[in-house]
Amino acid sequence: MQLKVGDTVRFLNEKGEGTIKEFISSFRVRVEISDGIEIDMPVKELVPVSPISIKDIKVVHKETVSHQPKTNSLKQSKAHAKDEMTVDLHIEKLLEDHYGLNNTEKLNIQVRHFRKKLEMAINGHFTKVVFIHGVGNGVLRQTIRDLLRTYEGLQYSDGEYKKFGAGATEVRIISRNKSRGSL
């Protein structure tokens, strides 16, 4: 099958899939994976994903339907002022298919997730958020703390060592009116 721009492909030697955005050469293509990240891949390492036709899908009707509520329902009650949130920023927790990404791409994804969760905490009724960034070489930790310094109404410190080790930053939301930083 001939590959073309717009085709959905899976990676032969890695987990994940993406969409072909452009041909760099007859041997390499640029593939867009999750969150708009683009990576260059050899054509020989891509497998086209064939679309499934509706006529190929078999529908099975259940005769009995359980009316018992699900125990792990996705409904969440509204947060209250005492609520705390823990966010794991390890790349393997954010993306299943992170193997083809370089360190800059991984950091950008982690920072984007950090900003989204911090904004959610500020807009919600959270008083504390713990961001687990790991120890590593400290780039993610420093980036997070640089961003936190742009906010008024937030305080941050190392996370609880007994619970998270040395790889966490705890953020306390002191004032919601002043917590609008330059995200």
Q: For residue range 85-128, what is the model confidence (pLDDT) as tens digits?
A: 999 999 998 888 878 888 888 888 999 999 999 988 888 878 99
Whether the predicted model's global pTM rises above the 0.85 cut: no
β pairing state of 126-132 and 83-88: parallel
pLDDT band (50, 70, 90) for residue 55: low
Per-residue model confidence (pLDDT) at position 75: 47
- Sign of torsion, CA 177 112 144 164? positive
- Sign of torsion, CA 160 163 164 169? negative
Sheet of 8-11, strands arranged across: 38-42, 28-32, 17-23, 8-11, 46-48
- pLDDT over 90 (residue 1): no
Q: How far is CA 165 from the centre of its chain?
A: 22
CB contact at 8 A, 140 and 89: yes
